[in-house]
């Protein structure tokens, strides 16, 4: 990104009200008590997301959540300690293919490719075709990763941890979350976790459902999911936006294409609606007795 586009993106962020208001966080009060229940919140990344971006996306989720937490209702939500985790969906091979294709087909140098990775993932005319298979076909996702994710959720929900779990997957991560769900909540191996202790809150989902009656948010301005929806009309319908004019917002320099997780958590209505979905899901899982 050059200086002009960086300034423009920051300006637009200010104009669009995307400036967060958090400060440095104090430790959660509930986390100071060993007796307080623990709830695990997982971020699962999509395709073309490196480990660094996954860490930042998870951090953004944590910052926005902690900013919202004091005003969340019911008040009982404040009495849980929320712990954040990353279940990584390996994408280095896809990123390599993607960056090579971008350079060959669009003539972009490596630095610009990295600057525009998220933009091109959503906008590049030859890029969408590269991503549609991995984004929509369950047989193209990494089964070892699915198993690893399921085991992590199950370990959280059973003894000795006995935690509730909310999973927030983005993009292709929704396929991973749905695929891991059944294994995570199934009866074997013993002990089985409590029913309802795991909820999914999908973001920018290319899938046709959210397992466990979970919630989801896809923006009307998400051009990548929109392109998938044209080919696969059974894709879940858009139900949020990044502002009054989602198409215009989707062309802001940093978040072009309207698909990035960072954008979903930077613009309203999507940010507030995703946090409300998490809040509702937490209320539901917190009502479940675990390890009884």
Considering only residues 211 through 240, tell me which ones interact with other proteins, judged by CB under 8 A.
220-223, 225-227, 229-230, 233, 237-239
CB of 102 to other proteins, least distance (A): 9
Alpha-carbon distance 278 to 288, whole Å? 16
Site for other proteins in 256-275 (CB under 8 A): 257-258, 262
Question: Taking the complex as a whole, how short is the minimal distance between the CB of residue 107 and other proteins, in angstroms?
Answer: 4
Interface residue with other proteins, options 30, 115, 249, 270 (CB under 8 A): 115
Minimum distance of other proteins from residue 218's CB (angstroms): 9
**Which 3 state secondary structure label does DSSP give 219?**
strand
Q: Binding to other proteins by residue 243, rule CB under 8 A?
A: no
279 is a contact residue toward other proteins (CB under 8 A): no
Residue 199 has phi, psi (to 5 degrees) of: -130, 150
User: Which residues are bridge partners to 240 per DSSP?
Assistant: 219
Distance, in Å, from the CA atom of 29 to the CA atom of 245, rounded to the nearest integer, reads: 39
Residue of 246, 267, 284, 286 interacting with other proteins (CB under 8 A) = 246
CA terminus-to-terminus distance, the chain: 53
Subset of 33-62 contacting other proteins (CB under 8 A): 50-52, 55-56, 58-60, 62
Nearer to other proteins, 6 or 287 (CB): 6
Task: Give φ, ψ of 84 to 5 degrees.
Answer: -110, 140
Give the nearer residue to other proteins in terms of CB position, either 19 or 213.
Answer: 19
Least Å distance, CB 13 to other proteins, is 8
Length of the chain: 292
Pick the closest to residue 168 from 68, 278, 90, 272 (CA basis).
278
- By C-beta, is 48 or 194 nearer to other proteins? 48
The C-alpha atoms of residue 107 and residue 199 are separated, in whole angstroms, by 43
Query: What would the x/- binding string for other proteins be over residues 76 to 95, using CB under 8 A?
Result: -------xxxx-x-xxxx-x
* Number of Cβ within a 10 Å radius of residue 161: 15
Q: Which is nearer to other proteins, 13 or 165 (CB)?
A: 13
| Coil/strand/helix, residue 35 | coil
Q: Which of residues 169-198 bind other proteins (CB under 8 A)?
A: none
Q: Is 161 in the site for other proteins (CB under 8 A)?
A: no
The first and second tokens of residue 73, run together, are 């209702």
């Amino acid at each position: 990104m050059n200086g002009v586009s960086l300034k423009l993106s920051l300006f637009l962020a200010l104009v669009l009200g995307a400036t967060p208001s958090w400060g440095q966080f104090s430790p959660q009060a509930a986390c100071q008590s060993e007796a307080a229940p623990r709830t695990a919140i997982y971020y699962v990344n999509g395709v073309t997301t490196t480990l660094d971006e996954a860490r930042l996306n998870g951090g953004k989720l944590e910052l926005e959540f902690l900013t919202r937490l004091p005003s969340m209702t019911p008040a009982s939500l404040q009495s849980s300690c929320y712990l954040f985790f990353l279940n990584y969906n390996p994408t280095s091979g896809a990123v390599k293919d993607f960056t090579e294709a971008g350079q060959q087909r669009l003539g972009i140098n490596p630095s610009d490719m990295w600057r525009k990775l998220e933009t091109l993932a959503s906008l590049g005319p030859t890029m969408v075709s590269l991503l549609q298979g991995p984004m929509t076909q369950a047989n193209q996702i990494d089964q070892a990763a699915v198993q690893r994710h399921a085991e992590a959720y199950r370990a959280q929900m059973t003894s000795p941890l006995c935690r509730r779990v909310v999973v927030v997957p983005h993009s292709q991560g929704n396929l991973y979350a749905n695929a891991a769900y059944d294994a995570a909540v199934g009866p074997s191996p013993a002990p089985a976790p409590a029913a309802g202790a795991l909820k999914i809150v999908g973001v920018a989902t290319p899938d046709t459902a959210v397992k466990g009656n979970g919630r989801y948010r896809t923006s009307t301005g998400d051009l990548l999911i929109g392109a998938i929806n044209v080919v696969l009309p059974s894709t879940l319908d858009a139900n949020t936006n990044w502002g009054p004019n989602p198409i215009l917002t989707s062309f802001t320099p940093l978040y072009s294409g309207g698909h990035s997780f960072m954008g979903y958590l930077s613009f309203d209505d999507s940010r507030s609606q995703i946090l409300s979905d998490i809040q509702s899901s937490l209320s539901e899982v917190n009502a479940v007795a675990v390890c009884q």
